[in-house]
Structure formats: structure tokens, C-alpha cells
Amino acid sequence: MAVKAPQLIDLLQQLIALPSISSTMPTLDQGNRHVINALANWLENLGFITEIQPLNSDGSKANLIATAGKGNNGLVLAGHTDTVPFDENRWNSDPFKLTEANDRLYGLGTADMKSFFALIIEAIRDLDLSRLQQPLIILATADEETSMSGAKALNASHLPGARLRSLASLPA
């Protein structure tokens, strides 16, 4: 049987190894396209339909919209793929290598927000998507740490089939 997506720790290792620094300083700014492509590949292998939304002229920055199921009022799981710039002198390990120490995992993006995507994939890995009664939509955006260009592009595209809830409308 073909592996649809790597196991959780392998997912984390691969995502952390893909640089995606967003910065207002052009010398530090990087694209997120490698992260988007990896997520799209894994989610397609799990049965999602994916759309990559380029955000700049060279295609180095993009959003990912991955959808499973049909209909309206779908659940959206959204996060960003970019990380902040870092100071190597403040790290005790390689920020682009997942490192375990003291029962914790370290690497640029482990807390915000690459691990989120690895956990989503782990949670849906064995889900029978044909049984979904409403869509499940996974969004991965670019440049949340700086310009919010990814979120702005998604907002302009009026994502169909998704429900919108403000935090104020959630039960206490």
C-alpha cells in the first residue's frame, strides 16, 4: 500500500526543513511555495482537491486551498506557512532541523504554525472523506507575519462553501 502522507514526526521534520521566512526586509524575505507544494501533495494523496493561489509575479509566494466534500457551511481549518526571521545566536539548535530536547520539539515553525498543518494531516489521515456531509477546507496562507497578502487574497476570492463564525458567536 502506498503511503499517502508521512507520519507525524516525518511531516514535522519535512515542514521545518523548508524555509519560509516572511520579512519586510527584502534580504531576509523568502517564499513559501515549497511548503505549499508539500502540503498540496500530501493533501491530494489523502483525497483533497487542491488549488494553489499564486500571490506574486514569480510564484514564490502562494496560498493553498484544499477541499474535501461538497456543499455549503464547510469547516475551515486555516493557518499560515511563513515564519519570522531569526537570530542564529539565540538558537541552541539548527532552526531548520526538528530537534527533540527535554521532551520538547524545537525548530522554526514548530509552535507557529507549521506543526498545525502536520497535526491536521495526522488527524485526517484515516478519515473516510466520502462520508463528509459538508466540506472540509484547509487553508494555508503566506505572509501572515508581514503584509497579510495571503489572507487578503483569500478574502478577495470569497471562498465558496465555507461557514464564517466570529469568536463572539461561539458558545462559552
Catalytic positions are: 82, 144
Strand order in the sheet with 49-54: 49-54, 62-68, 136-141, 75-80
Residue found under cell 511531516: 11
Cα–Cα nearest to 39, from 48, 31, 27, 29:
48
Q: How many residues does the chain have?
A: 172
Label residue 114 exposed, middle or buried (CB < 10 Å: 0-12, 13-18, 19+). Answer: buried
State which amino acid sits at residue 132.
L
**43 three-state secondary structure:** helix
